Amino acid sequence: MEQNITGLSSAEARANLKKYGENAFAKEKFSALKSLLGQFLDILNLILVGAAVLSFSLGEHTDAIVILTIVVLNALLSFSQEFRSEKAVERLSDLIKHEVLVIRDSKQVIINVEELVPSDAVILRGGDVVPADIKILSSNDLSVNESQLTGESVPIEKSADSKDAKNSQLFTGSIIERGYCTGEVYATGNKTELGKIALLSKNTKKITPFQKSLSEFSIYLLRIIGATIVLMLAAKAFSLHNVSDWANTVLFTIALAITVVPEALPMITTISLSSGAIKLARHKVVVKRLSAIEDLGRINILCTDKTGTLTQDKLSITEITSDNELMFQRLAVTTMEDAKVKNHSLHSFDRAFADYVPKNIQSEVGHWKQLDSLPFDPPARRRRVIVEDPDNKKHYLVVIGALETLLDLCNKPKKDFVVAMDEAAKSGKRQLALAYREIDYQPDFNIIANEKNLTFLGFANMIDPLRPTAKRTIDHAKALGIDVKILTGDSVEVASYIGKEIGLIDETHRVYSGDEVAKMTIPELNKAITECSVFARVTPEQKYNIIQQLKIHNVVGYQGDGINDAPSLKLADASIAVNNATDVAKDSADIILLEENLEVVIDGVRYGRSIFVNINNYIKHAMVGDLGNFFSLAVFYVIFSADLPMLPIQLLIANLIQDFPHLTIASDNVDKKSVEKPLVAGRLKSLMKTSLILGVFTAIFYLGYFIFVGTAATDLTRTNLFVFFNLTQLFVILSVRKEGFFWQGAKPSSLLLSALFLFAIGSVALIYVPVLSELLGFAPLPLRDIAILIAVTITFFLVLDFIKVGINKLWAKREQIKSLRLSKSH
């Protein structure tokens, strides 16, 4: 629209920005000091401090110093990882664009929302999120959703001349649902109504299935540990005769418990998710909350439009079918949206006309004015604009949109238009029709009331080439167990053509239209969404209903970019929007694509799943290695050993050494097969069963070796157990990372291999460094003991791997039988 508002000058805007600050809510900054101090208040570190005090009181000063050193190292390690993760998440928000259309220096320009200042003149349209508190100057058919502020979702009609002062104002966070307006900013950032109340952050805490499983796993493990410790102390009570013995046993028990508590799990989860989020961002996928990575990894159905994601979104006009092509071209150019806006790209339809219409015609009508307009209305599938030809003093109401919609508004359009439309649609071409009528324009002219008796001017045939990667993307999705469904506003013919070209459907598959969907009962809709992969001419409400039904038995991802996509985005398990989507779509989505390409989404799913495969590998290691060692030492101490089989310091040092390889698990490579299952992010319960069985085997094997080494606790036997414990833990990591044999599939990452190598070297080096050996109670191992230890460790590794493969095959067979029974019952 032509604006009489001049807005601020660039100099005035800079001065106001300096005076009022950025248009952003003040956020609580990450405090490095607070985080560091918080690490020392961790429950495990406090228990270790208590153990150090107990050691000191018994005169074991060396033990106390070593334990406190471990506390400091643990705290520093956790702090460094938390600090890195926090900074990584902060960087993600900078990748998402939030822009607003303003008038500066009498020109329409796009600026970042943060640069908005009081007294700025703003232009808002359907789909925009109100970026500040604004006084309305002019409006047309303006409807606003203020649920962000009031909690009421019923849209409110607003205008500049409303008698109610609040209805002539717009508040931060509100959504323009319909119409447009111009307004003047009077408050930004924390000075806005939203900024004055407690809703400073729109991010809500969401407990995901994986987080719930982690919590259940931790509680489950702590119960096992607690019960075992109580039984162990109760059994030992009869053989302990003095305070010193009791104190040493308590210290041993504390150290043993700490070796099995998965204290690194929260840290490893955070590291994996934050580093994963940064890597996803490099692949053009930005997550607004870390838990959205789980949502992305769990989906087994992905609903998407085809434009931009499967096609290139580079519309080009092949021909215009019209009785008056010159008039068609003139009106098409003059109705282009944002053609005069600085720093803003045209909509794909407008861009196609800008490329097709000769420059001399564009220049000829360059001075024509847009006096009024109604933005594109998805349910009506059209946009309305009033333009003025200043030379002839003529005014036109121009309607541009879907061909079949405009035919209903016009007087006797030619039948050959319909025939030409059908032929073009069958070859995958899209049509954009244009109709108009000359009007007597007055400022109070009602567009909707006068949208009748139009002259049908014709339509443009357009092609939007498929992305070269489209067919490959669909194949990759199928390999990941993802069923892609196209929900588009295009015609049945165009949607069907695209679906066949990319291999999503063939001649035997049916494509349902929105009109057919509207008439379906719930059972009929459920049958249709199960059988059909392409839906055409569907409205936003119909998309919502389809997703709602799909969610009953599936984890659904939805990619949308319009104002009316917001309900579907909020409904979907994984909501995805592109970075150039409407503000409301980006606000409703948890995942933002920096590149409008479905391949980016599928790659994101694959990578999201790999993150959880690695987190699960840590959990398996905790169950198989740590739990096995815990039970074996507990049983050995209670039944076979009168003295401590390993010193508390030795257990704590071993636990510290083992934490280092765990920190590199996030970098590990994963097998293709392991990410093919859609619910990989929620498989915690099933993998715990396998891990527990392997943990029992580990405990029995360890116990057998401990008895073989000798029941009399000496420096030599303790050293032997220490090295054996560490080396077998190394091999457990290598084994549990694959469901098949360790030599199959992806090789470990170089970072993980390096950590494991240093872990092995460090474990052995400790017993041969004189000062450390004496400090920690170690003795050099004879060559014979080393040879036996290596042979037994390799035997353990091979047997563990074979048992693991056998159990996994057994579970797979059981799942297969279960699926067959289920399919027969249906």
pLDDT tens-digit readout, 727-771: 888 888 888 888 888 888 788 888 888 888 888 888 888 888 888
Could you write out the DSSP letters of every residue in 711-743?
SS--HHHHHHHHHHHHHHHHHHHHHHT-SS-TT
Residues with pLDDT less than 50, the chain = 1-2, 198-204, 681
What pLDDT score was predicted for residue 819?
Answer: 65
What pLDDT score was predicted for residue 802?
Answer: 92
What pLDDT score was predicted for residue 682?
Answer: 52
CA distance 98 to 25: 14
- State the pTM of this model: 0.75
Q: Is the Cβ–Cβ distance between 102 and 5 less than 8 Å? A: no
CA distance 283 to 243: 61
HSE-up of residue 720 (Cα within 13 Å, Cβ side): 26
What pLDDT score was predicted for residue 678?
Answer: 66
CA distance 678 to 295: 10
Could you write out the DSSP letters of every residue in 69-87?
HHHHHHHHHHHHHHHHHHH
CA distance 348 to 338: 12
Q: For residue 612, what are its two tokens?
A: 């959880």
Q: For residue 262, what are its two tokens?
A: 């998965």
Residue 432, amino acid: L
What pLDDT score was predicted for residue 257?
Answer: 78
What pLDDT score was predicted for residue 1?
Answer: 47
What pLDDT score was predicted for residue 414?
Answer: 63
CA distance 469 to 475: 10
Beta-carbon count within 10 A of 231 CB: 12
Long-range contacts formed by 322-327: CB under 8 A, 24+ apart: 322/457, 322/458, 322/459, 323/414, 323/457, 323/458, 324/457, 324/458, 325/458, 326/361, 327/457
